[in-house]
Amino acid sequence: MEIAFDQLLIQTINGIVTGMILALVASGLTLIFGIMDVVNFAHGELFMLGAYVGVIVLAATGDFWIALIAASLIIALLGAAIYLMTLRPLLGRDPLTTILATFGVSLVLQNYALWQFGPVARKIQEPVTGHFTLFYLEYPWYRLVIALLSAAIIGGLWLFLKFGTYGIWIRATTQDRVMAQAMGIPVPWVLTVVFAIGAGMAGASGVLFGPLVGVNHAMGLDWILKAFIVVVVGGMGNLAGSIAASIFISLLEAYASLWVSPAQAIIVSFVVLILTLLFRPTGLFVPTPK
Amino acid sequence: MSSHSAEPLLEVEEIHTYYGKSHILDGVSLEVGRGEVVGLLGRNGVGKSTTLKAVAGLVHPSRGAVRFEGRPITRLPAHRVARLGIGYVPEDRRIFRLLTVAENLRTGLDRHGVTAARKKDLLEKVYAYFPVLAERRSQAGGTLSGGEQQMLAIARAMMLEPKIILLDEPTEGLMPRMVSQIREIIDVLHRESVAVLLVEQNVPLTLEASQRIYILEKGVVRHHAPAAELQVNDAVIHQYLGV
């Protein structure tokens, strides 16, 4: 089958847009894993609840941007509460206990959402409604807005980690929790804040992505699965690696869907995951360990 | 020196620690006076490092007490112990490998109540003591040589403006030239009235640098004497350390 150049370009843009949202979800996940070795199975539900908070605040205020900020803050606080109540007592135990705990939290949150909001999907009205012509397509501006906003949030996180005092505390704690304490860094507080930041980023991505799919209690599942794939492919705990892997995998899926249906294209992600685990288990986008 | 001041800077009283079922410290007691350099000698595995960790708050003794400036710190979390002015330089240095030299130093500087001017002074001071760190300030800590990492570990602890620094085998694995530099740094700390609790395998260096010596065996202090005394009479050293 002949693939036209315009189709290729459209899929490149689609891949980058999806990749940026995925990167936003995955960076929270990888930040949390990197600093406390906890795989947060409830991350997808934080994404989903962020979208619901967005629905509610949007209905109350009519302003998408207020909804976005409110959802990030509320989900960040929720994340801190989840961390303090379920994870903090388990830190340093067998990783299985934290996996089970976050899995439990994820079931509770998902069923809470089903009970509270019902099974019918809610809609978030996108703040930017226009389209522009991309070859034969009317391409929504909002998709580009999502990509840019995700990039801006990730960029902000990067600057904060690179130059901020608390960012340096977070990096030091990620590298050596014990030594960080011995340098006077309040490690228990740093861990809580990192969990809150990761949760807040998931909440923000839920609101950003809401207008594209509709909000329902199970919307976190697809994302969390993909986020796990990119976190592993990018190298567990490696922020830059996860971002690169998000875009890489989303592009691959976008190109694959030129030939097969999008539902089948997801197979590509799993193939990459399996190949990574077989041949480069430390991650694709990290330097070879010495 | 400590006998002159009313109250020692650091008091360790009968501390016991366990690792699983094995008794690591079996009632260690010692004191460090203000500005005093105290050596802690003993064979491998007698609990020297654990004693330092217990002071730093990284290991919490099951019995006994640690007091700093008269205040009990036995159960305090390590980050609060550090902020009281206890700097810890671990045996394996534990540089933040992916942080630059300057960022490693910043981990101890960014505290409440330290003005920008004070931070600058502190940095300039350590860069003057350790010019090599100034040269490499933008380099990742993990790229430094062993000796440079040791200097960074000490400089990093100095950022806390500590009243005492706990040095765990600072000369281990270093070249002779580096060893004498570490020796000089201990003297500098002493001149600045920073107390040092020094754990070392290098007995001559410890005897030279310290005012008083404790000898540890199987988790208890077996002997305690002025360093000058042990330099003259090395029978005790032979008995406990076999050197």
| pLDDT, tens only, A42-98 | 999 999 999 999 999 999 999 999 999 999 999 999 999 999 999 999 987 888 899
Q: What is the mean pLDDT of the segment spanning B43-72?
A: 94
pLDDT of A128 reads 85
Does A168 contact B103 at a Cβ distance shorter than 8 Å?
A: yes
**Could you give the angle at which helices A219-233 and A43-61 cross, rounded to 10 degrees?**
130
Residue numbers in B near A183 (CB within 8 A): 79, 82, 107-108, 156-157, 159-160
Q: What residues of chain A have any CB closer than 8 angstroms to a CB in chain B?
A: 165, 168-169, 171-172, 175-176, 178-188
pTM above 0.95, yes or no: no
- Alpha carbon dihedral B78, B83, B85, B87, in 10-degree steps, equals 50
Q: What is the mean pLDDT of the segment spanning A231-254?
A: 90
Q: What is the mean pLDDT of the segment spanning B116-122?
A: 93
Q: Are B149 and B141 in contact (CB under 8 A)?
A: yes
**In this complex, how many residue pairs, one in chain A and one in chain B, have their CB atoms less than 8 Å apart?**
67
Distance from CA of A159 to the nearest CA of B (A): 14
DSSP A167: H
| Per-residue tokens: A136 | 């034969």
DSSP A122: B
Distance from CA of A173 to the nearest CA of B (A): 9
Q: What is the mean pLDDT of the segment spanning B114-128?
A: 93
pLDDT band at A206 (very low <50, low <70, confident <90, very high): very high
Distance in angstroms (rounded) separating the CA atoms of residues B186 and A177: 27
Q: Are B211 and B36 in contact (CB under 8 A)?
A: yes
pLDDT of B2 reads 44
Does A182 contact B111 at a Cβ distance shorter than 8 Å?
A: no
List strand residue ranges (DSSP E) for chain B, in order: 10-19, 22-32, 37-41, 63-68, 71-72, 86-89, 164-168, 195-199, 212-217, 220-226
A126-185 pLDDT, tens digit each: 888 888 887 788 888 998 999 999 999 999 999 999 999 899 999 999 999 999 999 999
Residue numbers in A near B58 (CB within 8 A): 178, 181-182
Distance from CA of B216 to the nearest CA of A (A): 24
Q: What is the mean pLDDT of the segment spanning B121-136?
A: 93
pLDDT at B190 over 70: yes
CA atoms within 13 A on the CB side of A226: 27
Nearest Cα residue in chain A from B52:
A182
pLDDT at B3 over 50: no
pLDDT of B243 reads 64
Distance in angstroms (rounded) separating the CA atoms of residues A31 and A159: 14
Does B78 contact A165 at a Cβ distance shorter than 8 Å?
A: no
Kindly state the percentage of chain A with pLDDT values over 90: 58
Does A182 contact B156 at a Cβ distance shorter than 8 Å?
A: no
Nearest Cβ partner for A165 among B57, B82, B110: B110
Optimal mutation site among B86, B92, B98, B107, interface A, most CBs of chain A within 10 A: B107
The DSSP H or E segment spanning A102 is helix A95-117
Nearest Cβ partner for A172 among B77, B78, B99: B99
Optimal mutation site among A169, A183, A187, A189, interface B, most CBs of chain B within 10 A: A183
Nearest Cβ partner for A171 among B79, B98, B157: B98
Residue numbers in B near A182 (CB within 8 A): 56-58, 78-79, 82, 88, 90
Residue numbers in B near A184 (CB within 8 A): 79-80, 82-83, 107-108, 111, 160
Does B99 contact A171 at a Cβ distance shorter than 8 Å?
A: yes
Mean pLDDT of chain A: 90
Does B82 contact A183 at a Cβ distance shorter than 8 Å?
A: yes
pLDDT of B9 reads 96
